[in-house]
Chain A
Amino acid sequence: MTMLIGSSGDSETKAVQAAVDKWTETSKVAVKVVAASDLNQELAQGFAGGSEPDIFYMSWDQFQTYASDDYLEAYAKNLSNADAFYPALKETFTFNDEFVCAPKDFSTLGLVINTDLWAKAGLTDADIPTTWEQLHTVATKLSADGAAGLSMGAEYARVGTFMTQAGGGLMADGKVAANSDANVKALEFVQSMLKDGSLKWPADLGAGWGGEAFGNAKAAMVIEGPWIAGALKNDFPDVKYKVVELPAGPSGKGTFSFSNCWGIPQGKDTAPTAQELVEFLTSDEQQLAFSDAFGVIPSTQSAAKTYAEKFPENAAFVAGAEYAISPVAFKGASDVIGEFNNSITTLATGDAKSILDTVQTQLDSAYQAAQG
């Protein structure tokens, strides 16, 4: 069998190959692990040419598109550990009320704080923000010399958490609700921070993404996921930081979860064997081995609990899993999200309501089209 993965680096490829080799010992089925350079493109090419891999990484934002176009075998409901996964992750990979593929691992967003700059600004643990107002206050205190108190990617996948915290979201009760009052409130709060400079986009700090701005000490706090740990370790090993949960908004806590699942092509002869492999790879033991190798959070609740104890510095990310939701990702939504991301770049000078009105119209027509 062949397995196509969108690997984050050598350590991940090696860990996956090692896990697969271990499975081969008992199953006697050899599996070749291939690390893709452009996963979407290579998958599309494989499927069109009838040479798709027997098992592959399926990202959350492409899942609905693939599922609705009959690419994926809906095997996950038959797994013996089907109920062990986080409900939010199961929901992400559910299409037409069917749990399609098993989540591989997951990440949530947290607030990453540079502890040196934090102490320098005279802040203590008691100041860790738990509300929007507190976040705004500490971000203002932390802004100095062209550096921003807070930074995050200018995209829905970050700004959207504020919408959740305000009680909104792009969808509500199976309807598009992009221009709801809660969402306007959320964008206007982000805008107010942009206007006084306590929040700056990474590009305005001369950085390619939040982690880089954070590493350069251009931002004292960023909203990022667990992947920031690896990046900081490699590029900025001297930066001291800690991770806390995102502050709550007017309607409570909220964060996003991102995940990949193990995709199996629909109707392929190797599907039953591939399913056994997935069962092995998603076992608690194996997932914790992956965590050790490349820092991902296990997708099953019991393994994630062990993980939080083992890596207390990442406990906040695991805590977020309890209330995390997945960003909107039905077929055709990615174009709309792309447009939304463009207008988020210019949010500082834009009008929150009219930006969301545009999203509403576009997302609504994409949703109608997706429903067929």
Chain B
Amino acid sequence: MSSTTTAPATRRRRGGLNKGETGAGWLFVSPAIVIVGVFLVAPILLALWVSFTNWNGRFSPINNPRVDFVGMENYAKITTEDGLIQQLFGRSIRNNVYYVLLVVPLQTALALFLAIQVNRRMLKAKSFFRTAFYFPSVTSSIAITGVFMFLFQASGVVNAVLGWFSIHGPNWFADPSGVLHKILGWFGLSSAPAGWEKPGFLGVSTWDWLGGPSVAQCVLIIMAVFTTSGTFMLLFLAGLQNIGSEVGEAAVMDGATGWKTFWHVTLPMLKPTLFTVLTLGLIGTWQVFDQVYLTRGTPAAATLTSPAYLAYDQAFSSNRPGVAAAIAFVLFLIIIVMTLLQRFVLADRDPSGYGRDRKAKKKAKGATS
């Protein structure tokens, strides 16, 4: 960072740019600025404005006497004001929290595992496996959702296979019960303890917060892991190939076993890739929409809604663009906070020189020299 701030000074000293060139520079970047402005900055600002108004979707949201500025009212509706919208939002957050908690670690672990497998020098038909693992990522999520809904029908393929092992599979997309609730049920705790059934944080009761993903959502979780791990496998594969074989050889010379090499040498060196994968995973899972949209008619649909889908629904089915925009911005904040948090956690134990540790290291260096 510090090097970029000093750059203009160096340039001026060299006297490289004159006025004409500055103009030309602006001329060349102007198409990009206009495109980014019109298609990115302006819509975001407009959405921010809409989130503070009571606009009902009719006529323009700006310069319209029917549109009033209502301050934080839309935000209050989804967060603090008791009511149905708050409950819907609370439930969508709850659903998405479980989705993120399961999908992100699973897809990261699976992607890393696959990458290591296809990176082996001894592996035959490498490109076949690479293509095979990557294939689900190329296919449209819409098509895969369709196939999954078909596979997980009450009398579908999955339940038929489970039937071979004498397991009576659930009616997947029709089962809204939480997995954790089910497990607690085996231990005789089938209903909420006293006081736990009352509306709690965001209008969702403590008991429901602890319900775990619904059986129906488990299908979506499996599907997300299945479809995205291929993409992340490619990222890990690139990271692994960057490391080079001599590092591994050196570790072996030092007497490290396979597992130790992975844990103490390979994984730390993969940290930048890991950071990228986790960040992309977090953003992707918090924005889950396609699958939810396609399964909206299923009986357990309520346990599948995500904030992104709720925003769509509020905007287009309920004519509440203000509430929808507010949801979108809360979601944006959640993603920012999650990414910062994850950056903080990863950087803290970062031996590779990325993130927070770098400053500390510099200081340490300065002290010794």
Question: Which residues of A come within 8 Å of B, CB atoms?
Answer: 38, 40-41, 44, 47-48, 50, 62, 65-66, 69-71, 154, 201, 203-206, 208, 331-332, 334-336, 338-339, 342, 345-346, 362, 365-366
Residue on A nearest B155 in the bound complex, by CB = A206
Q: A69-B57, A365-B83, A366-B84 are in contact. Are A335 and B318 (CB under 8 A)?
A: yes
Contact A50 B299 (CB under 8 A): no
Chain B residues with CB below 8 A from A66, complex form:
319
Shortest CB-to-CB span from B308 to chain A, Å, is 15
A365 touches B84 (CB 8 A): yes
Q: Is A65 a contact of B318 with CB atoms below 8 Å?
A: yes
Is B153 engaged at the interface, CB distance under 8 Å to the other chain? yes
Q: Say how far A345's CB is from chain B's closest CB, in angstroms.
A: 5
Complex Cα–Cα for A365 and B298 (A):
27
Nearest A residue (CB) for B174: A203
Given contacts A335-B88, A345-B300, contact A204 B154 (CB under 8 A): yes
Query: 19 A-B residue contacts at CB 8 Å?
Result: A38-B316, A40-B316, A41-B316, A47-B58, A48-B321, A69-B58, A70-B58, A201-B299, A203-B173, A203-B174, A203-B298, A206-B154, A334-B317, A335-B88, A339-B87, A342-B176, A342-B302, A345-B174, A346-B176
Interface contact B176-A345, CB-CB below 8 Å = yes
Given A345-B174, A362-B84, the answer on whether A48 and B299 have CB atoms closer than 8 Å is no
The answer to whether B57 and A44 touch across the interface, beta carbons within 8 angstroms, is yes
Question: Residue on B with the closest CB to A344?
Answer: B299
Cα distance A354–B155 in the bound complex, in angstroms: 32
B164 an interface residue at 8 Å Cβ cutoff?
Answer: no
**Additional A-B contact list (10), CB under 8 Å, known A65-B319, A334-B317:** A40-B316, A48-B57, A48-B61, A69-B56, A70-B58, A204-B171, A206-B171, A208-B297, A335-B85, A345-B176
- Could you say which residues of chain A place their CB within 8 Å of the CB of B56? 69-70
B contact patch SS: loop
A333–chain B nearest beta-carbon distance, Å: 10
- Residue B315 CB within 8 A of the other chain: yes
Residue contact B154 to A205, C-beta cutoff 8 Å: yes
- Which residues of chain B (48-94) have a CB below 8 Å from chain A? 56-61, 66, 83-85, 87-88
Q: A339 touching B299 by the CB < 8 A rule?
A: no
User: Is A47 within 8 A of B57, CB to CB?
Assistant: yes
A44–B324 Cα gap in the complex (Å)? Answer: 13
What residues of A have a CB within 8 angstroms of the CB of B154 in the complex? 203-206
What's the nearest-Cβ distance from chain A to residue B140, in Å?
A: 16
The interface residues of chain B lying within 8 Å CB-to-CB of A339 are 84, 87, 302
Using Cβ atoms and an 8 Å threshold, which residues of chain B touch A41?
316
Residues of chain A contacted by B88 (CB below 8 angstroms)? 335
**B299 contacts A44, C-beta separation under 8 Å:** no
Rounded to whole Å, the gap between the CB of B59 and the closest CB of chain A is 7
Point out the residues of chain A lying under 8 angstroms from B297, CB to CB.
208
- Inter-chain contacts of B83 with A (CB < 8 A): 365
- Of residues 298 through 334 on chain B, the ones whose CB sits less than 8 Å from some CB of chain A are 298-302, 315-319, 321
Cα(A338)–Cα(B318), bound, Å = 12
- The verdict on A50 contacting B84 (CB below 8 Å), with A206-B154, A334-B317, A342-B176 known, is no
State whether A204 and B174 are in contact (beta carbons under 8 Å apart), knowing that A41-B316, A335-B84, A335-B88 are contacts in the complex: yes
Docked CA distance A154–B56 (Å): 31
Considering the chains assembled together, what is the distance between the CA atoms of A50 and B84 in angstroms? Answer: 31
Provide the residues of chain B in CB contact with A346, threshold 8 Å.
176
In the complex, the chain B residue whose C-beta lies closest to that of A66 is B319
